[in-house]
């Protein structure tokens, strides 16, 4: 996931990433799932997928283990 991989090392503690179009259009669902898995694989990230509009994923870097 190039965009997330570029942002993640510089994301501040309590920094937030908001990603849109996580549920629709359906042709992007596979790519959205790859993004969500990449975010959730980091031990210091918390994320929630909200079924608002096209689907919004809100992620925050927490005080967990920073890599």
The answer as to whether 66 is a domain residue is no
Query: 66 falls in which pLDDT band (50, 70, 90)?
Result: low
The per-residue pLDDT for 63 is 82
3-state secondary structure the chain: CHHHHHHHHHCCCCCEEEECCCCCCHHHHHHHHHHHHHHHCCCCEEEEEECCCCCEEEEEECCCCCC
Domain count, the chain: 1
pLDDT reading at 67 higher than 70: no
Residue with tokens 């993004």, as numbered in its chain: 35
Query: 65 falls in which pLDDT band (50, 70, 90)?
Result: low
pLDDT digits (tens, 9 = 90+) for 12-28: 999 999 999 999 999 99
The answer as to whether 22 is a domain residue is yes
The answer as to whether 67 is a domain residue is no
Q: Considering the entire predicted model, what is its pTM?
A: 0.88
The answer as to whether 28 is a domain residue is yes
The answer as to whether 26 is a domain residue is yes
The per-residue pLDDT for 1 is 77
Residue 33: domain span: 2-61
The answer as to whether 41 is a domain residue is yes
């Amino acid at each position: 996931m190039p965009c997330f991989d570029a942002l993640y090392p510089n994301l501040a503690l309590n920094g937030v990433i908001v990603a849109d179009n996580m549920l629709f259009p359906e042709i992007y669902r596979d790519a959205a799932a790859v993004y969500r898995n990449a975010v959730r694989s980091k031990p210091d990230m918390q994320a929630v997928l909200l079924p608002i509009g096209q689907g919004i994923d809100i992620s925050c870097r927490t005080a967990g283990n920073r890599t």
